[in-house]
Amino acid sequence: MNAAENVRVRIAPSPTGAMHLGLVRTALFNWLFVRGQGGKFILRIDDTDAQRNQAEVVRPILEGLRWLGIDWDEGPEVGGAYEPYFQSERSRWHAEAVERLLHTGHAYWDYATPEEIDAERKQAIESKQGVFRYSRRWMAEGPGERHRFEAQGRRAVVRLKMPSAGRLELDDIVRGRVEFEWLREQDHVIQRQDGTVLYHLASAVDDAQMRISHVIRAEEHLSNTPRQVFILQALGYPMPRFAHLPFVAEPGSRNKLSKRKLAQYLRNRDFAELVEHGRRLLDRVGVGPEEVPNPVTVDFYREAGFLPEALVNYLALLGWALDDHSELFSREELVAAFSLERVNRSPASFDPLKLMAIEVRHMLALPVEERVRLTRPWLVRAGLVLRPVAPQVERTLSAVVEAAGDRIKVTGDILDYAGFFTSDDALEYDRAAFEKRLRAPGATDLLRRFRDRLVSVEPFTAPVLEDLLARFVAEEEVKVGAVIHALRVALTGKPVGFGMFETMAILGRESCLARIERALVRAESTEER
RNA sequence: GGCCCCAUCGUCUAGUGGCCCAGGACAUCACUCUUUCAAGGUGAAGACACGGGUUCGAUUCCCGUUGGGGCCGCCA
C-alpha cells in the first residue's frame, strides 16, 4: 500500500433534510483534495438513534452528492472495510472508548444535576474571569463514591478530565499554527445520563477507527478541536491533519449562510432575482411556490435547471483560487488544480450573479445536442411537447437552442421560447408589446404587404429572408424597425428574442403566414382594445 | 464576558518586502456593434480598515485598536 492510499478524508453530515450549500462546499473540498491525492473519500452519516428510517433520511444528501458528481468510496449504499457508516450503529465502539477513557483516568463519572452545572456556569460567566470550569464537585473517584451519590438518587454523566496546564499547538493546513490553553477547555460531557454518547466523542472515535488522515471541515469546528484532540490522544490514536475551511457566507455579508434565514436573504436583490428565476420556471411546469426547494440547498439548483459542473465550479471558487486569472474549470481540471494550501482563510459570501455568470459559460461550452438533451424535459413537463418527441419538433428544438445561445442560462430557460412549440392559434401575446408594435399607425398595412412577399419567397431561409426585408424596406422607404418589431410580436408574441430571420426560418413559411394573419386580425379588431 | 479565527475594489480573488501610485473576474457606467434582448469590442470608475513599529523600502513582517465571524450544550 502506498502513501496515497493512506489518505482518507470524510464528510460526516447529520441527516437534517436537504443538503445545505455549506455542506456541499465542504464535501467538494474534501473530494477535490482526495481525488488529487489518490486517497479515499468516506461518507459517514452522523445520525442519532432518534432518527428513524435511515434510507429515507439520507436520501437528499446522497442525491445531492450524486447530482454534483461527488462520489464516495465508502459509505451508505457502497459499504466499505470500516462498516457501519451510520454513526448510530457504532455505539458499541463509542461505549468501549468511554470505558477506556474512564479506566485510564481521562474521564470521570459526574453526578451533578444539570441545574447545578447551570448554576456554576452562570456564576462563572458573570465573574470577572469569564471562564467556566466545572468544580468537579460531584465527580466520583471510586466505586464507593458512585454508590454514595447513587444512593442520593443522582445519575451520572461521563465527563472528560481536561488538563489544567499547558497548551495545544495545532498546525492547521489552511490556518497555520493555532494555539489553545488547556486551562480554557471544559470538562465536556461525552456520555449522557441515559448512556448514549455525544457527538464529539463519537466523531473522534469514528474518525480514528476509519483511519481518517485529514479532517477537512468548516471553521466552526476549529474551537472544538482541542477536545477531540484530547480524546484521540487519550485513546492512543494517531493524530489526523486538520484543515479548517472558511464559511460560505450570506450574500452581501460575512455571516454564515443558514437555511433558516431565507426570508432575510430574499431582501438581497440579486439573490431574490435568482430565486424568482427558479420559481418562475418551476411554476410553468406545475411546481407551486410551496414545493420549490430552499435556495440555500443544492436541491434548488438541481430543480431550477443549473448545471452541476457550474455549481461545482462556482463553489470551488468560494474560498479557493488557483491564480490571478483562472476561473473556468471542469471537474477534472479542478481535481488537478486544487490544493488545500491555496484555500483562503476569510469567509466568502455567496454571489448569485457570479454563479449565474459561471453557469452561462458552462452552458455555452456544451455541444448543442447536449443542451437539447437537457432542455427537452422542460418542454415535456410543461406539456408543450409530447413524448416521444417527433423528429420535426426535435429539429425545431435544436435550432432554437442554437439560435438562443447564451440566452438559455439554465436549462429551464428553454421555456422562454415556448412560442416555438405551441400551435399557431395558441400563441400568447405580450399585451404591452402588442399595443405598441401592432396597433401603431400603419403597422398592420406594412406588415400585410410584407406578409404577401413571404408567400412566394424561395428558399425560406434566414439569409434570403434578410435580403427580402432589406429590399422591402427600401421600396417602402421605411426603416427596418418599422416592420421588424411588429413582425417579432406577431411571430413570437414577445418584444424580445433572438435573430428575427432565424426565428422565421425556424417557424417555417406556413407558421409565419398563419401567425401574421392571426396578429393582423386581432390588431384590427376593436374588441381587444 | 472568555477563547479562537478573519480583515485587498460592491462581490469572488491575485499578491508572501522593492516588478504594485495594486492585477483578473462578476456586477456597475460610457461608447461601439445592432432588427429587439443578450452577447461581443473599446474604455471608465472602484480596494490594501486604522494606528504604531521593524526596514533604505511595506498590501506583504511584528504589536495594538477597530470591525466582522465562530465556539463556549447531557445539539450535531
Asked if A326 and A366 touch (Cβ cutoff 8 Å), the reply is no
Q: Is the pLDDT reported for residue A259 higher than 50? A: yes
- CA A459 to chain CA centroid, Å, is 48
CA-based nearest residue to A516, from A414, A457, A446, A469: A446
Instruction: Give the nucleotide nearest to A407 (CA→C1').
Output: B38
Residue showing cell 473522534 = A204
Neighbouring C-alpha atoms within 13 Å toward the C-beta of A108: 20
CB of A132 nearer than 7 A to strand B: yes
| Domain segments of chain A as ranges | 89-245, 261-365, 368-420, 431-524
Q: What's the Å distance between residue A457 CA and nucleotide B74 C1'?
A: 83
Note the pLDDT of residue A1. 47
Q: Residue A308: is the preceding peptide bond cis (ω within 30°)?
A: no
A261 is in an annotated binding site: no
CA atoms of A102 and A154, how far apart (whole Å) = 19
Q: Give tens-digit pLDDT for A126-178.
A: 776 667 889 999 999 888 999 999 999 999 999 999 998 999 999 999 999 99
- In this complex, the residue with its CA at the shortest distance from the C1' of nucleotide B24 is A325
Determine the distance between A346 (CA) and B7 (C1') in angstroms: 8
Region A273-292: mean pLDDT is 96
**Nearest nt (C1') to A354 (CA)?**
B26
In this complex, the answer to whether residue A198 has its CB under 7 A from any atom of chain B, a nucleic strand, is yes
Q: Which A residues between 39 and 58 have a beta carbon under 7 A from any strand B atom?
A: 46-48
Position A56 scores a pLDDT of 84
**pLDDT value at position A4?**
64
Residue with cell 479506566: A103
Torsion sign over Cα A404, A407, A409, A410: negative
β-partners of residue A214 are A9, A241
- Give the CATH H-level superfamily of domain A261-365: Glutamyl-trna Synthetase; Domain 2 (1.10.1160.10)
Q: What is the per-residue pLDDT across A55-87, written as a single tens digit (0 to 9) for each?
A: 888 999 999 999 999 999 999 999 999 999 999
Q: What fold characterizes domain A89-245?
A: Rossmann fold (3.40.50)
Residues 6+ apart with CB under 8 A from A210: A8, A10, A42, A44, A74, A82
pLDDT tens digits for A3-51? 666 999 999 999 888 899 999 999 999 999 999 999 999 999 998 776 6
Q: Is the pLDDT of residue A313 over 90?
A: yes
Give the nucleotide with minimal C1' distance to the Cα of A111.
Answer: B74
User: Smallest Cα–Cα separation from A140: which of A126, A156, A128, A164?
Assistant: A156
Contact, A353 CB vs strand B, < 7 Å: yes
Give the pLDDT confidence score for residue A297 in this predicted structure.
95
Assign A116 to helix, strand or coil: helix
Segment among A188-202, A253-267, A274-288, A359-373 with least mean pLDDT: A253-267
Query: What whole-number percentage of chain A has pLDDT above 70?
Result: 97
Instruction: Tell me if A104 sits within 8 A of A234, measured CB to CB.
Output: yes
Burial label for A315, CB within 10 Å (0-12, 13-18, 19+), is: buried
Cα–Cα distance measured from residue A36 to residue A34, given in angstroms and rounded to the nearest whole number? 5
User: Which bases of strand B sit closer than 7 A to a protein CB?
Assistant: 1-8, 10-15, 23-27, 35-39, 68-76
Answer yes or no: is pLDDT of A352 > 50. yes
Please give the angle made by the CA atoms of A463, A428 and A370, to the nearest 5 degrees.
55
- State the Cα–Cα distance between residues A28 and A318, nearest whole angstrom: 11
Q: Is the CB of A527 under 7 A from strand B?
A: no
- The three-state secondary structure class of A452 is helix
Structure-block grid coordinates of residue A92: 458499541
Whether the pLDDT of residue A387 is over 90: the answer is no
User: Look-up: residue for cell 461521563?
Assistant: A158
User: Which nucleotide has the least CA–C1' distance to A194?
Assistant: B74
Amino acid at A453: R
- Confirm whether pTM is higher than 0.90: yes
CA of A344 to C1' of B17 (A): 22
> Helices (DSSP H) in A285-430: which residue ranges?
298-303, 308-316, 331-337, 352-365, 368-381, 391-404
Which positions of A are catalytic? 259
Q: Is the CB of A294 under 7 A from strand B?
A: no
The one-letter code for the residue type at A23 is: L
Domain A431-524 has CATH 1.10.10.350: yes
- A window 307-346: Cβ near strand B (< 7 A): 317-321, 323-325, 327, 342, 344-346
